[in-house]
Structure 1
Amino acid sequence: MSSSPLFAPELAELAQAHLLRQRREVSPLLPPADLLPDQEHVRGTTYLINGQSRLSFGSNDYLGLSQHPALILAAQQAAARYGVGATASPSVCGHSPSHEALELELAAMVGLPRAVSFVSGYMANVGVIPALVGRGDAVFSDALNHACLIDGARLSRADVQVVPHGDLAALDAALQASTARRKLVLTDAVFSMDGNIADIPALLALCERHDAWLMVDDAHGFGVLGEHGEGTLAHWGIAGRGGIQPGWQGRLHRLIYMATLGKAAGVAGAFVAGEPTLVDWLVQRARTYMFATAAPAMLTEAVRAGLRVIQEEGGRREHLAQLRHRLRTGLKLQPAWRLLPSETAIQPLIIGSNADALAVMDHLDRQGLWVPAIRPPTVPSGTARLRISLSAAHTLEHVDALCKALSEAV
C-alpha cells in the first residue's frame, strides 16, 4: 500500500487535468429591508462568493423565487406551527397535512392523477427506478441523462443500455430487440448541461409501440415551461393545469413524471406523479421514500407558496424569455466558441478545453461575474463550457454586462 497521504496522487492527477473541483462559500447579498415590490428583481442575483460580491449566472433559481418574500414568510409561519424538522419518515409520522396538501396541488398543477413527494430529486430517482425494475428487466437511458438517473438505473440491477442522445431510431431498434420482462426508458425533459428539450410525444409513442414505460426527469422544465409553468408535459400539450389534454387520455399509464422543487420552485425537494397505482407502489417500495426522514413542513409550505407564484406571476417567464433573447442576440462569440441552441433558462457556451473554460471563468470573475465552468465527467471530454443560467431576477442590464465581459475575453 502506498505511503502517500490518502488519495493524494489521485487528487494531483485531477489538478493536472484541470478537473479539481473547488467549493466556495456563497451567500446571497440581500437588498435593504425596505425593498419596494417593483425592485424585487435585485434579489437572488448578487452573492458573496468567498467574501467577494459577484453577479451570479450560476444558480438554478430560474424564476428568482429563492428570495421571494412570500416563500420566506410561508416558511417562517410553518416553522412556528410545525417546528423545523419532520422527525420521521413519511410512513411513520413525517407526513403532515402540509405534505398531503402539497402532493394534491402538485398533481393538479401537472395534470396527473396523483403525486408523492421526496426530499430531493436525487433521492427520488435513485429510489424510484429500483422500485420499478430489477434483474431480468431492461433500462434504456439517454447518453446525456443526469447522474441521478444513471445511478438509479445502476442500483436497479436491470440490464442498462445507453442510447445516443436524442436518437429515436436507435431507441426504437433497442426496444425492438429487447426481450426483457419490463422495459423502462429514462430521459431528462430538459437536459441540464445542454438546455435542449426531449421529444416527449415521440418517446411516449415508442413506449406504446414496444410496451415500455417512460420516466421523465423534468428538473429544469418544471416552473419554466408551459403557459402556467406546469413544465415540459404542458410545453408539449400533453397535460397541465387543465388536466390531461384531448388525445392523451388513457395513454399516460406508461408515464412516470418526476420534477424537482429546488430550482424554479425556489425551495427544495422533488415529486413523482402518475397513475394512482404507481404512487401507491412507490410508497410501498421506493426505499428513499420509506427509510428517509421526510422534508420539514416549513419547506413544503414554502413550496406551496412558490407554486402560487409560479402560476400567478407569468411575467417572470416572459421576462426570462426576454433575457434569453438579449443574450443570444448580444453575445459576440470568439471563433472557437459555440452557443448551443436552447429555448430554456440554460444557455451553454462551449469553450472546448478544460484549461480554456477555467481561464474564461476566471476572467469573468475578475469582472465581478460568476459563471461556472463545467468540465468532464459532467460533460463529454472536449466540450468544457460555461453554463450560463438565467433567472427572472436578472435585468437586461445584467445580461448586457455579461455579454460585454465575454466579448473582452481572449
Structure 2
Amino acid sequence: MTTTDSVLSELLDTAAAREDALGWLAEEAERVKTAGLHRDPVVRRAEQPMINLASNDYLGLSTHPDVVAGGHAALDTWGAGSTASRLVVGTTAAHVDLEEDLAGFLGFPAALAFSSGYLANIGAITALVGRGDLIVSDTGTHASLIDGCRLSRARVVVVDRGDHAAVRDALQARTEARALVVTDSVYSIDGEPAPVAELYAAARDGGAALLVDEAHAVGVRGPGGRGLIAELGLSGAPDLVMTTVLSKSFGAQGGVVLGPELLRSHLIDRARTFIFDTGLNPAAVGAAHAALRVLGADPSLPERLRGNAARLAEAVGAPMPSAAVISLIVGDPRAAVAAAAHCRDRGVLVGCFRPPSVPAGTSRLRLTVRADLELDVIDHVADVVNEALTAVGAR
C-alpha cells in the first residue's frame, strides 16, 4: 500500500466513525416528499412528442426552420463553444452583431449578452449597487433578481407587488446616496403586468435608477413584440435598465442587459457573471439572431400569441390574460402534482408551480401559450386541463 493509499484509508476510517455530515439530507428529503414539494425534472423524449404548454417558447421559434438553421450556421462557423470568457476570446463577431441588432430592435443605445438571463440579472444588479446602497424590490420579482439583490450586499427594502407608493416612500426615507428599483415587467407566475410607468416615475422622482426584467414581455407585449417598456414609450429612457432573455420568445439561450453605452462599458468592467463566465455558445447566438429576424419580419406573431392565450383562458375559465401565461390555482401541492400528471398522461405538458415558487396554499397549474398552436389543439388542451382539475377536486 502506498503512502497515499494509507492516508486515504485512515481518513475514510475516521470519517466512518463520525456522524455522517450529510445524513440530514435523508430526513429533509422525506419532509419535502411528505409535503408534496419534491421535484423530478420532466424528461422530454424525441420519440414521444407531446403538446407542450409548460415551456416559455412563446412564439414557437425554438423549432422554426430559420432559427434552427441559424444555430447550425453559427455552429459550423464558430464551433460548439465560445471557449473562454467574453473578455478573453469568448466574444465572436456574431455576439457583437446580435447585441447591436437587439439594441436597435428594442430601442436602446447598447446591449450586452450573458450566457443566461439569470446571470444577466445578477450581473447587472451587483455591478450597479453594492454595500452602502439601497435596492427597492417587490414580492413578485423573479428569483434571479432576488439573488442579485442578496449578492449585491446593498440594503434591500421589499414592498408589495406593484406598490409604487411604497417604492416612493422607501426612496424618500433612504439615507443612501445611490438607489436602484427592480421589477419584472410581466410577472412570471401569473403573467400580470407591473405598473412600470408608475415605478419609473417613482424612481426618477426619488433619484433612483429602474431595472426592469422583460423576460416575459419581449415577443408578447408592445409594438411588434418589443416589450412593455416599448409599449409605454420608455425605450431608451434615462436611468432605465432593461434585461431580457433569449430563451423564451427567441427560442434559444442567453440573457441580455440593455441601456446606455456607458452601462454596457461598466458591465464589461464590473459584472462578475460576465467577466468570469464562458461566453454564450455560438449556436445559441446564431439561433437567437435568426429568431430576431423572424420576429422582425412577422410582427403579427405576438398578436397571434395573445389571441391563442385569450381563447385558452376562456375555455378553462380563467381571467383574460395580459400576456401569455394562464395561472390556475389548485391550492394543495399534491393536488397540483396530480393534475399535472393527469395532463401529462394524456399527452399535454403543463407547468406545476408549488412553494417556494408560489406562496403556500396557492399551488397551481401554469399554462404558457404559443403563437404556433392551432385552434383545435388549444381546444383539446382545454378539455384535458378541465378534466384534470375536475379529477383532483379543483372544479
Provide the TM-score with structure 2 as the length reference: 0.90
- Aligned mates of 1:313, 1:58 — CA distance in 2: 24
Residue deviations 1:113-154 (CA, integer Å, cap 9, x gap):
111111100111111211111111011111011100000100
State yes or no: 1:20 paired with 2:16: no
Identity of aligned residues (%): 39
- What is the aligned partner in structure 1 of residue 292 from structure 2? 307
1:159 aligns to 2:177 (yes or no): no
Question: Structure 2 residue aligned with 1:210, among 201, 206, 212?
Answer: 206
2: CA distance between counterparts of 1:292 and 1:207?
A: 31
Looking at CA atoms only, which structure, 1 or 2, has the larger radius of gyration? 2
| Per-residue deviation, 1:353 | 1.3
Which is helix-richer, 1 or 2? 2
Could you tell me whether the CA contact under 8 Å between 1:89 and 1:292 is conserved in 2? yes
Alignment partner of 1:197: what SS? Answer: coil
SS of 1:94 mapped into structure 2: coil
The number of residue pairs the alignment matches comes to 371
Partner of 1:102: 98
Following TM superposition, the consecutive aligned residue runs of length 4 or more in structure 1 with deviations greater than 6 angstroms are: none
Q: Which residue of 2 aligns with 1:329?
A: 314
Match of 2:371 among 379, 392, 410: 392
The answer to whether structure 1 residue 401 and structure 2 residue 380 are counterparts is yes
CA RMSD between the two structures? 1.6
Long gaps (5+) in structure 1: 30-47, 245-251, 333-338
1:56-114 deviation line (CA, Å, top 9, x unaligned): 21000000000011111111122111111111111111111111111110110111111
- Counterpart of 1:106 in structure 2: which amino acid? L
Q: Check whether the contact 2:135–2:181 (CA below 8 A) recurs between aligned residues.
A: yes
Residues 237-256 of structure 1: pairs in structure 2 closer than 5 A:
237-239=233-235, 252-256=237-241
Which of 197, 204, 208 pairs up with 1:201? 197
Which residue does the alignment assign to 2:335? 356
Give the CA deviation at 1:5: 4.3
> Which residue is 1:343 aligned to?
322
Structure 2 residue aligned with 1:126: 122
The gaps in structure 2 that reach 5 residues or longer are 1-18
1:282 is matched with 267
User: 1:79 aligned to 2:75?
Assistant: yes
User: Could you tell me which residue of structure 1 aligns to residue 349 of structure 2?
Assistant: 370
Distance in 2 between the 1:322 and 1:194 partners? 17
TM-score normalized by structure 1?
Answer: 0.87
3-state SS of paired residue (1:7):
helix
Is the 1:196–1:341 Cα contact (8 Å) retained in structure 2?
Answer: no
SS in 1 for 2:70: helix
8 Å CA contact 1:113–1:276 kept in 2: the answer is yes
Aligned counterpart, 2:9? none
In structure 2, what is the Cα distance between the partners aligned to 1:263 and 1:365? 22
Q: How much has 1:298 moved relative to structure 2? A: 2.4
Pairwise CA distance, 1:383: 0.7
> Secondary structure, in 3 states, of the residue corresponding to 1:125?
helix
Matched, 1:180 2:176: yes
Residue of structure 2 in register with 1:291 after alignment:
276
